[in-house]
Chain A
Amino acid sequence: MYAQMVKTDADKVKALQEMTPEERAFQERVDRGEKIEPKDWMPEGYRRTLIRQIGQHAHSEIVGQLPEGNWITRAPTLERKAILLAKVQDEAGHGLYLYCAAETLGVTRDELTERLLSGRMKYSSIFNYPTLTWADIGAVGWLVDGAAIMNQVPLQRTSFGPYSRAMIRICKEESFHQRQGFDIMMKLARGTEAQKRMAQDALDRFWYPSLMMFGPSDKDSVHSAQSMSWKIKINTNDELRQKFVDQTVPQAEYLGLTIPDPELTWNEAKGGYDFSQPDWSEFFEVLAGNGPCNADRMEARTRAWEEGAWFRDGLMAHAKKAAARRAAARHAAE
């Protein structure tokens, strides 16, 4: 999940009869499956939670370009390089769709960027892991985009119109991402012994961080309950994680790779796999800024923002001057 542990300001989910008339009318619209649009009345908590969630999602798309961008110049063939470029460009596009959706809630793009750079807003924990080999690019597409799709497909039905529309567009583009990753893994898994080892090593390192993407169990979380009643979260973290494992294990078997979990077994009764939880203390360390690449990622974002300032300002100054010139020419002609 690209948005992890999003807080809602709620200390409990209100029952319909405890709500103000406006809140009740809003909740009933959500319950009926109506889309909420930016100018419609909405509870302040809904607005603030969505800004946090969509913002975090957008930041993840943008920061997510960094681990993959790392391999663009070293892709093994020209075709792989063109594919990776297209994928990373898509991630930029996805970030932009999402920032625009967040902005309809009354926050500016610059505010969102500043909140990321000051550490007040987060991005997904997964992008704080390094991409050490080419096989990692395969694992990222297959596992990380696979996990993201798990979460994004249901979010197409989210109650907030602009978020839902962004998700529909993103999902349409995202399945290429997962397939190109699996394609890389297939090539390596059918290659030399050394290539096969490389693929296994990438799976070993990305398996648990991918499971962490869904966030810790939230079956008792008031924030998740509130988000689910607002339909800005559709499934619990455990449901999505289970679905992801059930989908991915047969794919790993197809590749002839081993999921790095000795406890992994098929559970006939529940119709899914039993599996080990990731190390949640590692997850909280990464969220707190102590993952292997947190400092690098933030430094890259800060540098891009600061070193791009003259360019953003320059284009704006040029646009203003050109508009003034046009106005003067019109004035002279009249």
Chain B
Amino acid sequence: MSSEWPLWEVFIRGQHGLNHRHVGSLHAPDAEMAIKHARDVYTRRNEGVSIWVVPSAAIAASSPSDKGPLFEPANSKVYRHPTFYDIPDDVGHM
């Protein structure tokens, strides 16, 4: 009998209170071992204060061919950025 350990995606929260960030993946038999492995593989240099692991099979992803319909609509909405608006210098910092 030989069955490969399933794949897990690893997310680490760094020192500075930012979101957990995807750092890579690894194989492990279960969640507990996945966290232990993640600690050895992805935090050897103080990279994190918290680890999440998620079975890769549980991740749903957008498809590359949907890139246009999903993301292009935002291109034309420049008014969503602060730089769209000209505020006279006299007003001061805003």
User: What residues of chain A have their CB less than 8 Å away from a CB belonging to chain B?
Assistant: 37, 39-41, 86, 89-90, 93, 96-97, 100, 103, 108-110, 165-166, 169, 173, 309, 312-313, 315-316, 318-319, 322-323
Contact = CB atoms under 8 A, between A and B. Distances in A.
B4 A39 contact: no
Interface residues of B, number: 20
Interface string B1-31: 1111101000000000000000011110110
A315 B5 contact: yes
A39 B64 contact: yes
Interface of B: 1-5, 7, 24-27, 29-30, 33, 40-41, 44-45, 61, 63-64
Contacts of A165: 24
Contacts of A37: 64
A109 B2 CA distance: 12
Contact of B30 (A39, A89, A169, A323): A323
Contacts of B40: 89, 93
15 contacts: A39-B64, A40-B64, A93-B41, A97-B41, A103-B7, A108-B4, A109-B4, A109-B27, A165-B24, A169-B24, A173-B44, A312-B2, A313-B1, A316-B29, A323-B30
Contacts of A319: 29-30, 33
A90 B64 contact: no
A100 B25 contact: yes
Given A315-B5, A323-B30, 18 more contacts: A37-B64, A39-B61, A40-B64, A41-B64, A86-B44, A89-B44, A93-B44, A100-B25, A100-B26, A103-B25, A109-B27, A173-B45, A309-B2, A312-B29, A313-B1, A313-B2, A313-B3, A319-B29
Nearest to A110: B4
Contacts of A309: 2
B29 A96 contact: no
Contact of A318 (B3, B25, B29, B63): B29
Contact of B41 (A96, A103, A316): A96
Given A39-B61, A100-B24, A110-B4, A315 B29 contact: yes
A318 B33 CA distance: 11
A313 B4 CA distance: 8
Q: Which 8 A-B pairs have the closest CB atoms?
A: A319-B30, A319-B29, A315-B29, A316-B29, A100-B25, A40-B64, A110-B4, A39-B64
